[in-house]
């Protein structure tokens, strides 16, 4: 079958793509959760028990995100899109580094740390332009605001949208994710049979499921190299 439309590159990213921007990954030995137990800061139960601690934890992380800058991997993906390639990014990251690099089609599977949302109505979302979210910050219905992120034990509302995007991929590039957290890790199962999957991760050899091409490099090296290759040949394969 000849494909007439512009081939569609779908990119699934995880914490590893932002590691070279100075944001810690989750499951590394010095990972973020080591300073706090996940249950204490990133679950609905933690929010009920100590919302002040949860807000402080995310305020600290928001400050780190604001200080961070997009790295060569974020920039290369944005450049590919600017060059006319069709690029959709599905990220598990709550930072905005893909957008700041210039990518325009970004789905945040686990939410966005720069957004706050109502605890009574998830549709009521507000940008956190500067400063923090603190106890007493309320939505238009008068309810406390929380970070617009998906906590452990919560549903992933954008998972269906992510599946639809992956189903339309002509090539899937996976960058910097341990694929350990569900349902994000299961997205690879939605890829059509004839579509190639490439994993860029220093730990690719261990992590890649069968049939996935492995590039065992940091994102800041492996992604720009791939992008340069696609740019030189003017197509994805």
The annotation places the binding site for substrate at 58, 61
What six digits make up the tokens of 147? 């970070």
Does residue number 110 form part of the binding site for ligand APR (CB under 6 A)? yes
Does residue number 40 form part of the binding site for ligand APR (CB under 6 A)? no
Q: Are 54 and 124 in contact (CB under 8 A)?
A: no
Which range in 122-130, 135-143, 163-171, 195-203 contacts ligand APR by CB under 6 A? 195-203
Out of 10, 11, 12, 14, which residue is the one contacting ligand APR (CB under 6 A)?
14
CA 105 to chain centre: 12
Q: How far apart are alpha carbons 225 and 53 in whole angstroms?
A: 42
Q: How far apart are alpha carbons 150 and 157 in whole angstroms?
A: 9
Task: Please say if 110 is a catalytic residue.
Answer: yes
- CB 69 to ligand APR: min, Å: 15
Please give the residue whose beta carbon sits closest to ligand APR in the complex: 16
Closest CA to 99 of 119, 85, 113: 113
Q: Are 150 and 92 in contact (CB under 8 A)?
A: no
Which range in 2-10, 57-65, 155-163, 173-181 contacts ligand APR by CB under 6 A? 173-181
Does residue number 186 form part of the binding site for ligand APR (CB under 6 A)? no
Does residue number 54 form part of the binding site for ligand APR (CB under 6 A)? no
Closest CA to 176 of 29, 37, 25: 25
Out of 54, 219, 226, 236, which residue is the one contacting ligand APR (CB under 6 A)?
219
Sign of the dihedral defined by the CA atoms of residues 106, 113, 216, 229, in that order: positive
Instruction: Give the footprint of ligand APR on this chain (CB under 6 A).
Output: 14-16, 19-20, 25-27, 31, 92, 110, 176-178, 180-181, 201-203, 207, 218-219
Active-site amino acid positions:
110
């Amino acid at each position: 079958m000849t494909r007439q439309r512009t081939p569609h590159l779908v990119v699934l990213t995880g914490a590893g793509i932002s590691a070279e921007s100075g944001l810690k990954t989750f499951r590394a030995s010095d990972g973020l959760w080591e300073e706090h137990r996940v249950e204490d800061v990133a679950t609905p139960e933690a929010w009920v028990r100590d919302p002040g601690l949860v807000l402080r934890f995310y305020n600290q992380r928001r400050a780190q995100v604001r200080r961070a800058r997009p790295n060569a991997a974020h920039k290369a993906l944005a450049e590919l899109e600017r060059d006319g390639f069709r690029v959709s990014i599905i990220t598990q990251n709550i930072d905005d580094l893909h957008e700041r690099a210039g990518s325009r089609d970004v789905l945040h599977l686990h939410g966005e740390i720069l957004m706050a949302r109502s605890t009574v109505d998830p549709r009521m979302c507000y940008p956190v332009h500067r400063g923090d979210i603190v106890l007493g910050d309320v939505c238009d219905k008068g309810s406390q605001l929380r970070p617009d992120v998906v906590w452990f034990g919560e549903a992933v509302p954008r998972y269906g949208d992510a599946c639809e995007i992956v189903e339309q991929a002509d090539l899937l590039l996976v960058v910097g994710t341990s694929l350990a957290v569900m349902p994000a890790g299961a997205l690879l199962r939605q890829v059509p049979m004839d579509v190639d999957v490439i994993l860029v991760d220093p730990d690719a050899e261990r992590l890649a499921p069968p049939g996935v091409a492995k590039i065992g490099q940091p994102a800041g090296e492996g992604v720009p190299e791939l992008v340069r290759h696609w740019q030189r040949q003017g197509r994805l394969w």
